[in-house]
Structure 1
Amino acid sequence: MTHRKKDAKKRFSFTRLVFGTVLLSMLAGVLFVEAYVNAEFHPDHSEGAGRQTRVPQSVIDGGPIIDTRNGAVHSYTLPAKTIALTFDDGPDPQWTPRIIEVLRRHNVNATFFVVGTQVTRHADIVAELARGGDEIGIHSFTHPRLDNLSQWQRELEYSQTQLAVIRATGRKSALLRLPYSSSANAIDDANWPLVQEAGQLGYLSVMTDTDSRDWSRPGVDAIVRGATPEGDKGSIVLMHDAGGDRAQTVEALDRFIPMMQQRGYTFTTVSGGLAKALAGSDIAVDAPATSADKRRALALVTAVSVADWIMELLRVLFLIVGVLTIGRTLALFLLAGRHARKRRSKTWRWGPPVVEPVSVIVPAYNEKEGIEAAVRSLAGGDHPGGIEVVVVDDGSTDGTAELVEAMGLPNVRVVRIPNGGKPNALNVGVALAKHDLIVMVDGDTVFEPDSVRHLVQPFADPTVGAVAGNVKVGNRGSIVARWQHIEYVIGFNLDRRLYDLLQVMPTIPGAIGAFRRQALRDIGGISHDTLAEDTDATMALCRTGWRVVYEERARAWTEAPSTLRQLWLQRYRWSYGTMQAMWKHRRSLVDRGPSGRFGRVGLPFIAFFGIALPLLAPLIDILLVYGLFFSSWKITTFAWLAMFGMQVLTAVVAFRLDKEKLRPLWVLPLQQFVYRQLMYIVLIQSMGTALTGARLRWHKLHRAGSAGSSAPVATMLSAGSPPASAPSGVSVSEPVAAQGGASELGRDDAGAPVGGGRFGADEPVDGWTSVGAGAPADGWPRTRAGTARLGSRPPAGTDAFGAAGAWPPADALRSAGAWPPADVRAAGPGEGAGGTAPADPPRRGVAQVPHASAPEHRVSEHTAVLYAVSRTRLLRSSSAAESEGEGS
C-alpha cells in the first residue's frame, strides 16, 4: 500500500510538472509569436544606398521591375503616360479602406505590398482588395532589415507573408518589394544579393520611380508634387496606406488621380503596366494556391490569431490587476487608518474590563525546540483572572511532553494523545479546558506578558465570539524571514483592519486567537475537513452571526520558515486550505442573514484579493519582461515602477500603523524578484491541486526555537510560584495514554492518583467503552470537585465542551466517555447519541446556523475525541494511516 501511494504521488507530481512545463511553454510560445508579429519597423525612407560595385549597370540604369528568375537579369520600365500606384506597409483597418474608397470613386486599381503580420489580422481587407481587381504583392512578414538576417530567416519572411496572402485571397503572389528599398538606382552591394535570391525563389522585385514621401506628412501639395512623374514618363509611384496618420495621403490621392487623368495618364497595376511594356507578352505574377498551401496558411493565421487573443486577454487582466491593486490600496488606506484611529482613541472601550480566567490550548507535535519558551511566556502572562495552559501533546516523538512536565509550572497541564492532527488536538484541549474563554496558540509561538490580557478584552462585547491577535515574525535574521515579516505586518495591520470593519474576518491565526466556548459549540468545534482549520472555523463563526474582531495589542511572536523549501510547504498548505474552506462555505453565497452577508461580502473579498489578485500578479512581471525586450522599455519601466511604488507606500503605511521600524523595507525590491515569484508558483500549484482533487498532506515544518528572538522579554513563572488559577487537590499533569497506556485524571490532596486506568484496556460493555482497571466500582472516577462518569452515556442535554467549574470539568469528562458509540457520528451541539437531546436555546440577537449538523461543516471523524476519548475513537486505524506525522 505504501509503495502504491508513493508511486501514485510520484505520478501525480510528474503529471503536474509536465502540465506546468507545457503551460509555461505555451505561454512562452504565445509571447514569442506576439513579439515576432509586433516587431517594430522604421519607415522605408530611413535607409540610404551604399556601394554599388557588384550591381550590374543595366540594373542601376534600368527600370523599377527587376526579373532575376532563371539566372537571367532583366529590368522593365512602364510605358509613357502609364502610372502604377503602389501602397506599402498595409493593410491598415483605418486607412486602407479609405484609400480603397478613393480608388473605387475614380475607377482605378493599384498594387498593395502587404506586411504579413497585418494580413493575418486584417485578411478581410486584403480579400476585398483582390475582389475589386487590386493587386497584392509581398513586403515581408515583419518588415525587418533583410540584409541583417540569415537566408533561412529571409525565406521565412517571404513564405509566411505568402501564406497570409493565400489565406486571404486563395492565390500566390510573385511580386516582391524589399523593405527599405526605393528606386533601382539605389540598389547597393548589400541589397543586390537579396534581389538575386528573390529571383531564385520565383519573385519579381518591384522598385519605384517616384516617391511621394507621404510618410513624412509634408502636406497634400508636397505629396502630389512628389508623386508626379517628369514629363510624360511612365512611373511606379510609392505611397503608404499604413504606418501612421495617412489623412494627407488620402486627400492627395483624391487630387492626384483626376489631375493625371486630365494629362492623359492611364492608371494600372504593376502587372498591367508590365504586360503593356512587353507588348502582349505575358509574365505570370500570381498563381492559384494548392490545398497544402491553404492548410499551412490556416495554421499560420490561427497561431497569430490565438497569440493576439491571448495577448489581448493579458492586457485586460493586467488592467484588472491594476484596478484591484489600486482599489485595495485605497480601501486599506482609508479603512485601516479609520480602524487604527478608532481603536487607539482614548475613549475607546470594548466594555468593562474582562477579568474572567482563561484557558490556553497549545497543540504540540514535535515542538521540543520552542515549546519551553512558548509555555513559559503563556504561563507568565499578566491576565488578572488567571491563566490555565493545557498542552496537548499530539503523539510527539521528540520528548515535547516531558520537557513541559519538567518545567514544573503549576498552572500548566499536559495531555498526551495519539497523533491525530491539529484540529483533533485542539478539540481535546477544549474538551478538557476549565474556562469558557479559550485561547489557541501554536507550539512555536511566544506571547508578550500582556498578550492574553489584551486578547480577551473584546469579549466584553457580548456579540464578539472570537478575536484575532497580531502575529509578529520573531526570527528576522534571514532574507526569507524578513520578507515574511513585511508580509505579516501588511497583512495583519491593513488587511485585518479592513476585514474587521467589514465584519468579514476570514482567518483567526493559529498562532494567536481567542474564542468563547459557546461560539466553538455553535460551529461544532474545530473541523478536520480542510488543511486551514483556522480559516474554516473563522468562516463558520462569521456565518453563525458571531463577530470576529482584530486586537492589535495582543502580539504573538512566531517562528517563520527560514528556507525557501520550508516556506513553500507552509504556504502551499495555507493556500490549498483556504481554497478548501472557501469551497466548503460556498453555500453562504445564497444564504440569508449573517451567513449570506459573509458569503456575499467576505468570500468575494477573499476570492478577489486572496486568490485572483495573487494569481494575476505574475502578469506584471511577465509583461515587464515582454515590454523590456519587445516593446517600449520606457513605458514598461514607468508602469512597473508605479506598481512597485504603490507597494512601497502600502508597506510604509502598514509599518507606521504597527509602530515598526522601516529598516526591513530595504529588502522589498529583492522581494519583487524572488519571494513574489515563489508565492505565484505556490498559489498556482495549490489551484492545480484543488482542481485535480488531489489530497495534500500536512507538512510538519522544522523549527529552531527562535520565535522569541525579537520578542520583548516576558515575565516567567518559576517552578515554585503559585498557579495562576489551579483548584486545590488537582495535579498539573494529565497524560491521556494511547492504547494500553495509563491515564491519570487527577490527584487528591494526599497526592494519590484519582481515576487511574487504561483507556481501551477492557472490552466495551453494551457498546460503550469501559473505564478499565483501577476505576471505582460504580464506574465514576472521583475528584474533589465531584464525580464524572467515563463509561456511560451522559445525561440528556450535556454538551461536549464542558462547563466552567472545578477541573476536570464534569461535562468534559462525561463527553470524554464513549458517547456517542462508535457506530454513531459525532454529535453536534445539543445532540445526544440519537440526536434527541434538547438544543441550547438561541442567544438573543445572534443568528444561529447549525454548522455541526450541516453537511458543509460537519465534525470530522478526527475530532470525535471531543465526545469519545476511547480506543475506538482515538486509535482508528484509518486515522493512523492518514494522519501519521501530522503536525499540530
Structure 2
Amino acid sequence: MTNRRRRKSPSRRSRTRQITPRTHWLLLSVLTATLSAALLLQGYTHHMFGITSDNVTGTRGRNDSVPSKVAHGGPVIANAATSPYTARVKAHTVALTFDDGPDPTWTPQILDILRRNHVHATFFVVGTQVVAHPELVRRIVADGHQIGIHTFTHPDLAHLAPWQRSLELRETQLAVAGAAGVTTALLRPPYSADNAALDDADWSVLKQAGAAGYVTVLATQDADDWQRPGVDRILANATPHGPAGQIVLMHDAGGDRSQTVAALASLVPRLKARGFEFTTVSDAVGMTAPVQPAGFGEHLQGLALIKVLQGGDWVVWFLGLLMYAAGAISVLRAAAVLIAARRHRRMRTRRRGRSWGPPVVEPVSVIVPAYNESAGIEAAVRSLLASDHPVEIIVVDDGSTDGTADLVDSLRLPVRVIRQQNAGKPAALNAGLAVATYDLVVMVDGDTVFEPDTVRTIVQPFADLRVGAVSGNAKVVNRGGLLGRWQHIEYVVGFNLDRRLFDLAECMPTVPGAVGAFRRHALLDLGGVSDVTLAEDTDLTMALCRNGWRVVYEEGAKAWTEAPASLNALWRQRYRWCYGTLQAMWKHRGALVQRGAAGKLGRRGLIYLLLFQVLLPLLAPVVDVFALYGLIFLDPVRIIGLWLAFLLLQLLMGLYAFRLDGERPGPLWSLPLQQFVYRQLMYLVVIQSVFTAMTGSRLRWQRMERYGSLQAPIGAEKTLNGHPPQEPGFAQPTPYDGFSYAAPYDEYAQPSPHYGLRQPAPHETPHW
C-alpha cells in the first residue's frame, strides 16, 4: 500500500505544485496588472490634472520665438510648424465657443438656447468629459454644431513633455471619434488667451500641434464667465464694441454655469438685433470642413477607450465601496471580539468559584501522533509525564523514518508506543483512539510541550456533560526574529481572541491539534477522525458541534509549540490549514440550515470564517492596490490617517489580548512591519487555497520542519496512579534564538481511508 501510494505521489505533486499554482499566480498576476493599469489610467485622467479657472497659469515668459505675424495676427493659427499663417473673423460675425464640456447640467441648457435661436457654435471638449457623457457629444454634432478638442485632462500643455502633449491630443481625438464618429482639426489649448499673450513655451505647443495637423483657435473676446461676475458683467464682456468679427470664449462646464446660461439667452437676441451673424469657427474664417467622419478603426479604438475608462470609473467606485465596507466590518469585528473577550473573562472569573462541576480526577489518555518527530518527541513525552494529573500516554509512530519510535522506546518511560505504516495523521489518531483506556482523551502534536497543569486544566470542563471537546491555549515557543514575533502575535491576538468569541457564541469551529481534549465515545460515535480534509482538527470539531456537543475554550490549558521558522515552512503550514478549513467548511455547509448546536455552528461560526478568513483576505490585495492608488492620486494624508487608525485599533486589540494571556506586550512593536510582509503572505495563502479548491486539486499532507527548540523536563517519570515524579524538572521553554535542522523534510503520504475505526459509508447519511 505504501509503495503504491509513493508511486502516485510524484504525479500528484506535479499536478498540485507545478501546474495549478503556476496557473494561480499567472491569473493573479494578470488580474493585478490589469487592475493596476486601469487604476493608473483612471488616476491620470481624473486626478493628475483637472478643470480649473482659465486664469493664465504662472508668469508668462519671453516671446522671442513667436512670429510677429502670429503675435499680431488673427485668432485662428494654421501650419504653425512650417509656415504659420493666421485668419481673422469676418466683420459682423460672431463665433460662439464653449470650453471644458460637455456637462450634463449646463451643456443641454446651452444647446436648447442655441436651437431656439437657430444658432450654431463651436464646442471645445475635454476628453474626460467626453468619456463621461458621450451622448452629449453626439447631440452637439447632431444639432449641427462644431467640435474642437480641449485636451484630455485639461493640463497646461506648455508645462508637459512632448510625449504627454501628444498623448493628451490623441486620447481626446479618440474619445470624440468613439462618442460621435467624427474627428476634428480644431484645438484650443487650456489656459490660452489671445495672440498677444503667447510666449515661447506656448509657441512650442502650437508648433507641435501644427505638425500633428491641428489648427489652433484662440479667442478675441473673453466673457470671463468662469469668474461668475454676474449676468450683466458677462453680457458686457461678450458684447462686441464695433463691427469687427469676434471669437467669443464662454464655458459650458467646469463649475456653476447658471450665469453663463442666463447671459447667453440675452446675448444672442441682442447681437442679432445689431446685425451680427452667428456661425461656427470654420465658417467665420472661411476654413474648409475641419470636422470629418472618423474611420472605422479609429471609431472602434475610441469606443474601446470610452468603455475602458468608464469601466475604470466603476472599478474605482466599487473598490472605494469595498474599502469602506471592509473597514467598517473590521471595526465591527474588533468591537465584537473585544466585547466577547471581556465577557469571557468575566465568565471565567465567576466560574472559578463554582467551576464546571465536581473536579474531574479520572485518568486521561493522551495520544501523540508522530511522524519523524525525533527532534522534539522526548520533550513532548517528558512534559506529559510531568503532568499533575494521571495520564496514559500513547505515542503512535506513523511510519517514521528518523527513528522516532526507537527513541521513545529507548527512554524507558511508561509510554505505550504503537507502530504503523505511514497512513497519515488521522489514521494515527484513530489508532490511538482504538487502544485508549479512558473516555477522556487529549490529543497533542509531537512538537508540543505541556505545562504540568495543562492536562488537569483542560479536562475540567468535562464536568459539564454537555461538553464534548475543549480547546487549549497553544503558544509559540520560538519567538525570536520577526517571523517568530509575528506568529506569536497571531496566536495571541488572532486565534485566542477568536476562540473566546466562538466560546461565547457556542460555535467553536476548531480545537487545535496541538492541545485539545475530547470525549472518546463522542469521537467513536462520529466514526473517529476523518481523513477527507487536510484540517482534521477543524473537521472533527465541526462534526462534534453538529452532533449536539458543546465545544469550549480553556485558556489556562497552555501548550508550547514550535512555529515555522522560515517563510517557506510557514507557507506550507498555512496553505494546508487554510485549504483544510475550506474543505471542512464545504463539508459541513449543511449546518447553515440546521437547528440547535449545528445551526449555531453554521450561522455563526461558518459565516464568520467565510467572511473574515476567506472573503476579506481575497479582497485584501485589491484594497492594498486601491490604497496605493489613493496615496498617489487622491489625498495621501487621508489614506495614511486611515491606515494609522487601523493600526491603532490593532494595537489596542493586541494590548488587551496580551494582557488576557498574561504576555508581555514587547513583541507588539513589530505590528506595523507585520502589515507589509506577514499580512500579505497570509492573504496569498488564502488566494492560492481558494484557487486550489476551485480547480479540484488534492493537496498532500506537508510536515513542518522541527528545530528542537523545546526543552524536555528532566526525570519526568510518572505512573498511572498519579504519583508525581521525584524531580519533574519541567523547564519553561525559552524564547527561540536559533535552530538546527532535524531530519530532512518529508511529507505525510496521502491519508489512507482505512484507519481502524468505522467510518460511515459514502451512501450513508451521518447522524448529526
Instruction: Quote the residue 1:202 is aligned against.
Output: 213
Instruction: Quote the residue 1:358 is aligned against.
Output: 364
Q: State how far apart, in whole Å, the 1-side matches of 2:325 and 2:399 are.
A: 47
| 1:15 counterpart = 2:23 | yes
1:724–1:118 distance in 2 versus 1, CA, 3 Å: farther
Q: State how far apart, in whole Å, the 2-side matches of 1:653 and 1:272 are.
A: 77
Q: State how far apart, in whole Å, the 2-side matches of 1:255 and 1:343 are.
A: 81
Instruction: Quote the residue 1:344 is aligned against.
Output: 349
Report deviation, 1:468. 0.9
Instruction: Quote the residue 2:153 is aligned against.
Output: 142
| 1:117 counterpart = 2:147 | no
Q: Is the 8 A contact 2:451 2:558 kept in 1?
A: yes
Instruction: Quote the residue 2:661 is aligned against.
Output: 658
Instruction: Quote the residue 2:311 is aligned against.
Output: 306
Q: State how far apart, in whole Å, the 2-side matches of 1:190 and 1:857 are.
A: 81
Report deviation, 1:433. 0.9
Larger deviation, residues 431-440 vs 58-67: 58-67
Instruction: Quote the residue 1:234 is aligned against.
Output: 245
Structure number, greater radius of gyration: 1
1:78–1:518 distance in 2 versus 1, CA, 3 Å: same
- Normalized per residue, the structure richer in helix is 2
CA-to-partner distance for each residue in 1:25-53, whole Å, 9 max, x for gaps? 22222222222322332524242432110
Q: Is the 8 A contact 1:473 1:707 kept in 2?
A: no
The runs of 5 or more residues in structure 2 that have no matched partner are 1-6, 724-751
| 1:495 counterpart = 2:498 | yes
SS in 2 for 1:617: helix
1:65–1:336 distance in 2 versus 1, CA, 3 Å: same
CA-to-partner distance for each residue in 1:685-706, whole Å, 9 max, x for gaps? 1111111111211111111122
| 1:92 counterpart = 2:92 | no
Q: Is the 8 A contact 2:150 2:190 kept in 1?
A: yes
The correspondence for 1:430, drawn from 413, 428, 433, is 433
Instruction: Quote the residue 2:643 is aligned against.
Output: 640
Instruction: Quote the residue 1:683 is aligned against.
Output: 686
- Structure 1 counterpart of 2:684, one-letter code: I
The correspondence for 2:86, drawn from 71, 75, 79, is 75
Q: State how far apart, in whole Å, the 2-side matches of 1:823 and 1:325 are.
A: 40
The within-5 A match list for 1:489-638 is 489-638=492-641
Q: State how far apart, in whole Å, the 2-side matches of 1:222 and 1:421 are.
A: 87
Instruction: Quote the residue 1:396 is aligned against.
Output: 400
SS in 1 for 2:201: coil
Q: State how far apart, in whole Å, the 2-side matches of 1:151 and 1:599 are.
A: 61
- Structure 2 counterpart of 1:285, one-letter code: P
- Structure 2 counterpart of 1:399, one-letter code: G
Report deviation, 1:426. 0.7
Instruction: Quote the residue 1:378 is aligned against.
Output: 384
Larger deviation, residues 71-80 vs 425-434: 71-80
Report deviation, 1:612. 0.9
Q: Is the 8 A contact 1:55 1:189 kept in 2?
A: yes
Report deviation, 1:662. 1.4
Instruction: Quote the residue 2:173 is aligned against.
Output: 162
Instruction: Quote the residue 2:740 is aligned against.
Output: none
The within-5 A match list for 1:235-254 is 235-254=246-265
- Structure 2 counterpart of 1:403, one-letter code: L
Instruction: Quote the residue 1:702 is aligned against.
Output: 705
Q: Is the 8 A contact 1:446 1:556 kept in 2?
A: yes
CA-to-partner distance for each residue in 1:194-253, whole Å, 9 max, x for gaps? 212222322210112233333344444544444444445433232333333444444444
The correspondence for 2:37, drawn from 13, 29, 38, is 29
- Structure 2 counterpart of 1:381, one-letter code: S
Instruction: Quote the residue 1:467 is aligned against.
Output: 470
Q: Is the 8 A contact 2:379 2:713 kept in 1?
A: no
Q: State how far apart, in whole Å, the 1-side matches of 2:255 and 2:722 are.
A: 82
Q: Is the 8 A contact 1:381 1:715 kept in 2?
A: no
Report deviation, 1:717. 4.8
Report deviation, 1:549. 0.9
Q: Is the 8 A contact 1:524 1:852 kept in 2?
A: no
Instruction: Quote the residue 1:789 is aligned against.
Output: none
Q: State how far apart, in whole Å, the 1-side matches of 2:114 and 2:447 are.
A: 80
| 1:45 counterpart = 2:34 | no
1:339–1:75 distance in 2 versus 1, CA, 3 Å: same
Report deviation, 1:189. 0.9
Instruction: Quote the residue 1:274 is aligned against.
Output: 285
1:264–1:12 distance in 2 versus 1, CA, 3 Å: same
Q: State how far apart, in whole Å, the 1-side matches of 2:438 and 2:517 are.
A: 12
Report deviation, 1:352. 1.7
Q: State how far apart, in whole Å, the 2-side matches of 1:439 and 1:825 are.
A: 19
Q: Is the 8 A contact 2:148 2:188 kept in 1?
A: yes
Q: State how far apart, in whole Å, the 2-side matches of 1:57 and 1:686 are.
A: 71
- Structure 1 counterpart of 2:408, one-letter code: V
Larger deviation, residues 75-84 vs 666-675: 75-84
SS in 2 for 1:45: coil
Q: Percentage identity across aligned positions?
A: 53
SS in 2 for 1:71: coil
- Structure 1 counterpart of 2:96, one-letter code: L
Report deviation, 1:663. 1.0
| 1:327 counterpart = 2:335 | no
Q: Is the 8 A contact 1:404 1:414 kept in 2?
A: yes
Report the TM-score, using the length of structure 2 for normalisation.
0.89
- Structure 1 counterpart of 2:392, one-letter code: E
Instruction: Quote the residue 2:195 is aligned against.
Output: 184
SS in 2 for 1:89: strand
SS in 2 for 1:651: helix
Q: State how far apart, in whole Å, the 1-side matches of 2:765 and 2:211 are.
A: 73
CA-to-partner distance for each residue in 1:767-793, whole Å, 9 max, x for gaps? xxxxxxxxxxxxxxxxxxxxxxxxxxx
Give RMSD over aligned pairs.
Answer: 2.7
Instruction: Quote the residue 1:406 is aligned against.
Output: 410
Larger deviation, residues 515-524 vs 147-156: 147-156
1:718–1:517 distance in 2 versus 1, CA, 3 Å: closer
Aligned residues: 728
Report deviation, 1:442. 0.9
| 1:316 counterpart = 2:327 | no
Q: State how far apart, in whole Å, the 2-side matches of 1:646 and 1:260 are.
A: 66
- Structure 1 counterpart of 2:55, one-letter code: H
Q: State how far apart, in whole Å, the 2-side matches of 1:515 and 1:214 are.
A: 80
Q: State how far apart, in whole Å, the 1-side matches of 2:270 and 2:646 are.
A: 56
1:222–1:464 distance in 2 versus 1, CA, 3 Å: farther
Q: Relative contact order, CA 8 A, sep 6+: which one is greater? A: 2
Q: Is the 8 A contact 2:578 2:686 kept in 1?
A: yes
Instruction: Quote the residue 2:746 is aligned against.
Output: none
Q: Is the 8 A contact 2:439 2:519 kept in 1?
A: yes
Q: Is the 8 A contact 1:365 1:400 kept in 2?
A: yes
Q: State how far apart, in whole Å, the 2-side matches of 1:724 and 1:852 are.
A: 40
Q: Is the 8 A contact 1:522 1:544 kept in 2?
A: no
Report the TM-score, using the length of structure 1 for normalisation.
0.77
Report deviation, 1:161. 1.2
CA-to-partner distance for each residue in 1:672-715, whole Å, 9 max, x for gaps? 1111111121111111111111121111111112245xxxxx97
Q: State how far apart, in whole Å, the 2-side matches of 1:449 and 1:852 are.
A: 41
SS in 1 for 2:473: strand
The within-5 A match list for 1:872-883 is none
1:576–1:234 distance in 2 versus 1, CA, 3 Å: same
1:226–1:326 distance in 2 versus 1, CA, 3 Å: farther
Report deviation, 1:102. 4.5
Q: State how far apart, in whole Å, the 1-side matches of 2:14 and 2:429 are.
A: 33
Q: Is the 8 A contact 2:192 2:218 kept in 1?
A: yes
